[in-house]
Amino acid sequence: MLYSETLKDPKVFSRIYRKGQRSGCACAAAYYQKNRSPYNRVGVTVPKKIGGAVERNRAKRIIRAAYRKNELLMPLGYDIVIVAGGKINGMKSTDLDILFRRLSKDMKKSENPVLRTD
């Protein structure tokens, strides 16, 4: 990954779940929060309800490949946790492009909130 590092610390995962913002679709959800770095940190989790180890590892591989493909769309300086959903089995990394386009749009929107003048 060009502008990203792997997120591994369980404390950071739980902080992002609690305090971060959420974006998602039926196949996966993404939680994100600003960090104070010039790069993104990305973590992938897959619950056991997805299936056995083979299915979970395949889901993680697909999510990482889709992120790598769409990495240039993402604004820098975020911690991102992607959680696989129940409909990810049988999908390809190109099917997850919708998730990452929506995620980048939501992240950019949270970066530049529209101020109302009422």
β-bridge mates for residue 44, sequence order: 82
Instruction: Give, in order, the Cα–Cα distances in Å from 21 to each of 49, 78, 84, 91.
Output: 23, 11, 16, 25
Architecture of domain 4-107: 2-Layer Sandwich (3.30)
Do β-strands 21-24 and 78-84 pair in parallel, antiparallel, or remain unpaired?
unpaired
Contact status, residue 79 vs residue 45, Cβ threshold 8 Å: no
Cut 0.85: pTM above it: yes
What's the confidence (pLDDT) of residue 2? Answer: 75
Residue 86: CB partners within 8 Å, gap ≥ 6?
26, 49, 50
Ranges in the chain, pLDDT < 50: 115-116
pLDDT tens digit string along 82-104? 999 988 888 888 888 888 889 98
| Domain boundaries, given as residue ranges, for the chain | 4-107
pLDDT at 115: 47
Provide DSSP, 63-114: HHHHHHHHGGGSPSSEEEEEEE-GGGTT--GGGGHHHHHHHHHHHHHHHSPP
